[in-house]
């Protein structure tokens, strides 16, 4: 199970896969909890919650702390 690097939610799904022949070489994931999308081939500083700058993390249990909240599409 892949957890979101921004909010740590397990509500993630694969949106797209890049293939080279029959081999999957990258995947794009989407988090249903915070709407973040990322490719698994990005740098660890972007896709690892532990290494990600805390400024860019999201606490989905407290949406009122954010100035702008975009509604889901």
In this prediction, residue 60 has a pLDDT band, given cuts at 50, 70 and 90, of confident
Which distant-in-sequence residues (6+ apart) come within 8 Å of 3 by Cβ? 9, 10, 12, 49
Tell me, what's the pLDDT at 63?
73
What is the per-residue pLDDT for 67? 73
Q: What are the boundaries of each domain within the chain?
A: 12-65
Task: Give the single-character DSSP code of 34.
Answer: T
Q: Which residue has the tokens 């805390």?
A: 54
pLDDT tens string 3-55: 999 999 999 999 999 999 999 999 999 999 988 999 999 999 999 999 999 98
Read off the pTM. Answer: 0.80
Q: How many helices (H) and strands (E) does the chain have?
A: 1, 3
Please name the residue ranges forming H helices in 1-73. Answer: 44-47
pLDDT of residue 73: 66
């Amino acid at each position: 199970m892949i957890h979101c690097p921004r909010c740590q939610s397990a509500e993630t799904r694969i949106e797209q896969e890049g293939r080279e022949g029959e081999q999957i070489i990258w995947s794009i994931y989407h988090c249903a909890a915070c709407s973040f999308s990322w490719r698994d081939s990005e740098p660890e500083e972007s896709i690892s919650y532990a290494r990600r700058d805390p400024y860019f993390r999201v606490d989905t249990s407290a949406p009122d702390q954010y100035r702008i909240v975009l509604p889901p599409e």
